[in-house]
Amino acid sequence: MPNLFEKELQKKSIFKDRDAISQHYSPKELPFREKQIGEITKILSPSIKGKKPDNLFLYGKVGTGKTTVTGHVIKELEEFAEKNHAKVSCNYVNCRNHNSKYKVLIKATKKFFPEENFIGYSAGFIQEKIMEFCRKENQIILVLDEIDKVKDLDELIYSLSRSNDEIEKGSISIIGISNNLMFKEKLDPRTKSSLCEKEMVFPPYNAEELRAILKARVELAFVPDSVSDSAVNLASAIAAQESGDARTAVMLLMRAGEIAENSNSKKVTDVEVQKAKKKVEEDIIFNMISTLPEQQQLVLKAIAVLSMSTKGIKKITGQEEQGVLYSGEIYEKYKQLALSLKESIVSSRWYRQYINELEMYGLILTSASGPGIKGQTKLIKLGFSPEKINSILDGQLGK
């Protein structure tokens, strides 16, 4: 009998390099982003000459290449600086994992003082360490990806820019990145004017562009002829229609590849892409929900719970609409849930903001009450099965 592992490793795979079709892979070529790459390069170039680049704010929907493009330019900058003995130091922090001023500062300091551990020291002390590094004529570029996740962002931006103004040599510049199109409008005016000295939007990709991106990835990731052209077209069309998001496109092909791998045909066709669509949708919802702030998760939970228990609304006309909820009843339910979990309760203004964002993420649909209903209120409907959303939230809210 052959050894189990020998048998396993002898199995033919349709993947040549599976990492290349992962959503975290950074390809060397980034077509359709030449303009953004050029502009970011131009904005950062003063650092090579020992001058402070403007702060920069990048935004656009998920999967429009912000993280990859920034990573690419930063890498080129560091390579060039090193070759030319320029003191430029870039530092990438994903604020999804480091979601407060303190955590960002700790993470940022790690790169400059890798041997030391500053956990437990005051924020002021840690920041002083960063400035100490700057004063040695270093230009620091601090990339804060998913910057909207930082709870006390105003304080972080304010204290970094104040420190920057105080030092005579060296500087610290911030590149903030956000997937949230409304985030900029929510910023405190002072934070906004500091962070958005320069700003840039990453537009969605169309189906043509997604197809070209996917084709290049397929060549890297799959063995030849294992993915049909029409599968690539279908994945691009689906992703373009949903959101113009290269991440969805890449995830669709990866999931389709896994499905094909486990079947006898060992070829990715439209059928596998169609099957992958459901899985990817679930992955994306899961990912989105798990990164929402806890209060927003509670609002979503209130919607899911009510959707499961109520029949829908009855209009004056006698018509019933399924799964539709009043904004006011959701807020009441949310308050109940927050109380039972001993969480604080956000004001109704914040609650409305959360509702707007949930809609932007596609998790809910809203409409004005319109004729047939007394008074003026917002009607809200869940975009996905309430049972599914509820079960994801139960895992998240620690219940």
Q: Which is nearer to ligand ADP, 62 or 260 (CB)?
A: 62
27, interface contact from Mg ion, ligand ADP, none, CB < 5-8 Å by kind: ligand ADP
Q: Which residue is nearest to Mg ion (CB)?
A: 67
CA atoms within 13 A on the CB side of 35: 5
Nearer to ligand ADP, 252 or 306 (CB): 252
List the interface residues with ligand ADP, window 10-69 (CB under 6 A).
23, 25-27, 30-33, 60, 62-68
Residues sharing a CB contact under 8 Å with residue 166, sequence separation 6 or more, in sequence order: 131
Taking CB under 6 A as the criterion, which residues in 227-266 touch ligand ADP? 246-247, 250
**Which of 89, 109, 178, 179 touches ligand ADP (CB under 6 A)?**
179
Nearest CB to ligand ADP, comparing residues 94 and 295: 94
23/228 with CB nearer ligand ADP: 23
Residue labelled with tokens 């029409």: 230
Number of residues that bind ligand ADP (CB under 6 A): 22
Q: Is 161 in the site for Mg ion (CB under 5 A)?
A: no
Contact letters (x/-) for ligand ADP, 63-102, by CB under 6 A? xxxxxx----------------------------------
Least Cβ distance, residue 269 to ligand ADP (angstroms)? 22
Whichever of 47 and 64 has its CB closer to ligand ADP, that residue is 64
Q: How far is the CB of 284 from ligand ADP (least distance, A)?
A: 11
Least CB distance from residue 173 to ligand ADP, whole Å? 19
The Cα–Cα gap between 104 and 97 comes to 9
- Which of 67, 89, 180, 296 binds Mg ion (CB under 5 A)? It is 67
Q: For residue 48, what are the contacts with CB-CB under 8 A and spacing of at least 6?
A: 77, 80, 81, 84, 86, 88
Given the complex with Mg ion, which of 127 and 248 has the nearer CB atom?
248
Residue sitting closest to ligand ADP (CB): 65
- Nearest distance in Å: CB 44, ligand ADP: 17
Interface with ligand ADP (CB under 6 A): 23, 25-27, 30-33, 60, 62-68, 179, 202, 213, 246-247, 250
Interface with Mg ion (CB under 5 A): 67
